[in-house]
Amino acid sequence: MRWDTLAGVLAMVGGACGGTTSERGQPDDRPTGMSQPQSSVQVNLVDFEIDREPASVPAGEVTFEVTNDGYATDADGDPIPSISGGQHNFEVLRSDLPAGDLPVSNLNFSVEVETPGIEVLGSTPPLQEGANESLTVNLEPGPHVLICNLTSHYMRGMWAEISVRSQG
């Protein structure tokens, strides 16, 4: 049997087994029928801010690429120590409540995410300074809030809005 014929037969058998190939001709590890995330948002966490780019995404699957930049710095670029030790987490919330007026617990000063009108769509574990984490969630059109929900971080301004618009 000629090698080019054997290669063609093997390619057909591989395709029949459900494997897919990326645009670069490399094997694609995703199951057949799965699509790539539609949008990606870069998120940087720092005492006490959440920077995200872009601030608006189309509805659907969105991957948040989260980096914990840890401590804020002073005018000389030196870290300003905080109780959190530079640790942060990241949560994506769906809520019609104003982003800066979410209900906060009097016990630990974190957002009461079990409140009616708030839905947690995804979250990361607490991240050490310098850590990275990817979080993929399915977002519907409407207002969403990104928060760090460690003790007092939300109250200190560690939240950002993200707008999710209808596709099309």
pLDDT in tens, the chain (168 residues): 444 444 444 444 444 444 333 344 444 444 444 554 479 999 999 988 999 999 999 999 999 999 998 887 778 878 777 777 789 999 999 998 999 999 999 988 999 999 999 999 999 999 999 999 999 999 999 999 999 999 999 999 999 999 999 986
CB 72, CB 154: distance < 8 Å: no
CA distances from 23 to 20, 27, 74, 98 (A): 10, 9, 46, 42
Radius of gyration of the chain (CA): 21
Measured CA angle at 147 (ends 86, 45), to 5 deg: 35
- What pLDDT sits at residue 168? 63
Q: How far apart are CA 1 and CA 164, in angstroms?
A: 56
Indicate the SS3 state at residue 6: helix
Q: Which domains can be identified in the chain, with CATH numbers? A: 1-34 (no CATH), 35-165 (2.60.40.420)
Quote the pTM value: 0.74
